[in-house]
Amino acid sequence: MSQSPAEEMIKAVRETIDEIELDGKILDEVARIHKKYYDALLNAGFTEDQAIKIVTDLPIPL
């Protein structure tokens, strides 16, 4: 049985929402990793400015 155009659109919207939610979770995890790295740099003796520079120079792994 074929889906109606409306059903196909609803399915596509749901898939897009799922992808957006996954992207949000990935970005949340990346933020947590960067924060832990920043804190570790501070604990290792780097200044706040040095730690910020190091962390902000990192590419976001997506």
Residues 22-49 have pLDDT tens digits of 777 877 888 898 999 999 999 999 999 9
Residue 32 lies in a domain: yes
Residue 46 lies in a domain: yes
- Domain holding 26, by residue range, is 5-56
Confidence at residue 61, expressed as pLDDT on a 0 to 100 scale: 62
Q: Which amino acid is at 37?
A: Y
Share of the chain above pLDDT 90, in %: 35
Q: Which three-class secondary structure state does DSSP give residue 52?
A: helix
Which pTM was predicted? Answer: 0.61
Cα 62 to Cα 55: distance, rounded to the nearest angstrom = 16
Residue 61 lies in a domain: no
Residue 29 lies in a domain: yes
Residue 12 lies in a domain: yes
Asked if the model's pLDDT at residue 21 lies above 80, the reply is: no
Residue 62 lies in a domain: no
Please give the tally of structural domains in the chain.
Answer: 1
